[in-house]
Structure 1
Amino acid sequence: MVLVSSLGCGGGETPPPETPPPPPAATPAPVATPAPAETPAPIDPAEKKKQEERAKLAAEMASMEEAAKKEAARFDDALKAQVKTLMEAKYIDAKAALTAAMASPHRMPGNAARDQFRHPVETMVFFGLKPTMTVIEFGGGGGWYTELLAPVFAKKGKLMVTTSDWNGPEDVRSTLYGRRFKRFLDKSPDLTGKIEPIVIKDMNAPDLGHEGQVDLVLAIREMHGWVNNKRLEKNLAAVHKALKKGGVFGVVAHRAKPDAAPEESSKNGYLPEAWVIKQVEAAGFKLAGKSEVNANPKDTKDYADGVWALPPSLEGGDKDRDKFVAIGESDRMTLKFTKL
């Protein structure tokens, strides 16, 4: 008998397989450390102010365009016919033409309310306005005087109006003023088609052209701006160059107190009368007359918002509104000069 050991290979119970070792534990992913927040660069106060001014100007430009569209839409067929009649009529003199224009519905809404303070007929008669003249309105603004003057010269005279460049940069305020005047010209070709705009692209080097050919230059509520922008001498020289010998320079300006410092009072819109006369005469003119037609003794000239506290600006809004409305528009000097 052959004995086979139960511990040998090939016989007996198969031993269980060995248990595999557990897999190694997964290594946790590293947690990203957030980068420290960057400290924002400080805002330059000057740049911030520029940004605010650009935003304000853009808003004003949009508002102007909207108002211009509304005003242009007012010129329906009936109003166009009335304008045509106004422009084609024959007037015996400037007073008759201005009186007819003042009563015409072509005027921008609200403009007629200013007549009681601005006395356009009396002012223009004082300056010697005639329908046959060649006239420059230095600074048309929103067209308050232009819409009255246009019918005067429709037949025999010539009206030119200075304006800033309406194609200038969008972020320059003078472009807004130029574009506003362009919209005024465009709304009624029958009214403004004969007006010659004088576009001054460089306000620091004004050139009115028409050297020695102009009978009358008007500067209505403009001169304080000339002082503020340091353009008084240059503008007076341009006026003198354009006028004929003996031609008239008509000035209406907000009148400061006699002892006011012009460089300071001009910031509030006012200039002392004696100082204005001195500056204009030094530029080659002679004072030919004064009128108190636009005087207003109720104007105390001491408002925080300057002349713009008064109508029509009413810069302070509802604050003291009734007080300023009761005062009316500013006290104004009305001066007639002739070119030597």
Structure 2
Amino acid sequence: MRPTALAVLVALAFPVTAALAASPASTEVPSYVTAAVNDPARKDDTANDERRKIADIMAFAEVKPGQSVVDLIPGSGYFTRVFSGIVGAKGRVYAVWPNEYGKEAVSDVQASKALVANPHYANVGVLMVPSKEFKTPEQVDLVFTSQNYHDYPDKFMGNVDPVVFDKQVFDSLKPGGLFVVIDHVAEAGSGMRDTDTLHRIDPAIVKKQVESVGFVFDGESDVLRNPKDPHNIKVFDKSIRGHTDQFVYRFRKPG
């Protein structure tokens, strides 16, 4: 979906502003995840929580208090706000925007800046980076991206090689750190054919690319799967928008 060194926009608001089987939908949700999801400051987000399976996704991503997390291409900040509540005052959340994407999502970037100006989200910072130079100020525990992995190879992002991007993510993580990818499912065998047209990607090519740089596939969740999605229409088509078949993959950096 779409709509230089680290230019730490920063409002970096820290003081300033093992191969596993598919994870069941009933993954136990820790109390700190429940507390973050129930934060009254998220009242405008709650209408989407059941559809987006926020508690299940956070449990699957294994986010914990005190961790450092990257919300890559955070959109409206839906996930950022929950990450902030989970990691708490001793943790950090980096809302990372590729410069190229930010040019097409100006309002969302402004929303991220506004978020870090809110004292309630004092553990959140915004980073603007070139799309071909993903990196973080420190090694982090989790890099998370939802519905945006498919954008990287597209022209508006500079035709980034996903394998190069995956290696940059690998280097940004602590040993044992996680890379969680959520995206719209394309037809089996289609590879990256539909990334710029239907805004979909074949899960098999994502797994192949990510594993090729050293990650170990660590599990998948089926909470966003929809067998009624035909996989051959745009994700914005009114018949499927908001209810696409999505894969949720977790990869671990050895260590």
Give the TM-score taking structure 1 as reference length: 0.59
Question: Are positions 1:194 and 2:109 aligned together?
Answer: no
CA contact (8 A) 1:208 1:238 kept: no
Q: Counterpart of 1:122 in structure 2: which amino acid? A: D
Question: Against the structure 1 CA distance between its residues 246 and 175, is the aligned structure 2 distance closer, same or farther, given a 3 Å change threshold?
Answer: same
Structure 2: stretches of 5+ with no match in the other structure? 4-27
* Partner residue of 1:204 out of 125, 129, 132: 132
Question: Are positions 1:112 and 2:38 aligned together?
Answer: no
Question: Are positions 1:225 and 2:151 aligned together?
Answer: yes
Could you tell me which residue of structure 1 aligns to residue 243 of structure 2? 329
Could you tell me which residue of structure 1 aligns to residue 178 of structure 2? 248
Could you tell me which residue of structure 1 aligns to residue 94 of structure 2? 160
Could you tell me which residue of structure 2 aligns to residue 146 of structure 1? 80
* Partner residue of 2:192 out of 262, 268, 274: 262
CA contact (8 A) 2:69 2:83 kept: no
Q: Counterpart of 1:332 in structure 2: which amino acid? A: Q
Question: Are positions 1:123 and 2:57 aligned together?
Answer: yes
Question: Against the structure 1 CA distance between its residues 280 and 266, is the aligned structure 2 distance closer, same or farther, given a 3 Å change threshold?
Answer: farther
Instruction: Point out the more displaced range, 111-120 or 287-296.
Output: 111-120
- Higher relative CO (Cα under 8 Å, sequence separation at least 6) belongs to 2
CA contact (8 A) 2:89 2:123 kept: no
RMSD: 2.6
Instruction: From the two aligned structures, give the one with the greater strand fraction.
Output: 2
Structure 1: stretches of 5+ with no match in the other structure? 1-59, 61-92, 315-322
CA contact (8 A) 1:252 1:333 kept: yes
Q: Counterpart of 1:118 in structure 2: which amino acid? A: R
Could you tell me which residue of structure 1 aligns to residue 33 of structure 2? 98
CA contact (8 A) 2:225 2:247 kept: yes
Number of matched pairs: 223
CA contact (8 A) 2:151 2:195 kept: no
Q: Determine the C-alpha separation between the residues in 2 that align with 1:164 and 1:301.
A: 27
The SS at the match of 2:193 is: helix
Q: CA deviation at 1:214?
A: 1.4
Q: CA deviation at 1:219?
A: 1.3
Instruction: From the two aligned structures, give the one with the greater helix fraction.
Output: 1
Question: Against the structure 1 CA distance between its residues 235 and 132, is the aligned structure 2 distance closer, same or farther, given a 3 Å change threshold?
Answer: same
Structure 1: 4+ residue segments shifted above 6 A: none
Q: CA deviation at 1:234?
A: 3.5
**What percent of counterpart residues are identical?**
25
Q: Determine the C-alpha separation between the residues in 1 that align with 2:244 and 2:69.
A: 25
Q: Determine the C-alpha separation between the residues in 2 that align with 1:97 and 1:107.
A: 15
CA contact (8 A) 1:254 1:271 kept: yes
Q: Counterpart of 1:204 in structure 2: which amino acid? A: K
CA contact (8 A) 1:94 1:130 kept: no
Question: Against the structure 1 CA distance between its residues 203 and 265, is the aligned structure 2 distance closer, same or farther, given a 3 Å change threshold?
Answer: closer
Q: Counterpart of 2:250 in structure 1: which amino acid? A: K
* Partner residue of 2:214 out of 274, 284, 288: 284
The SS at the match of 2:30 is: helix
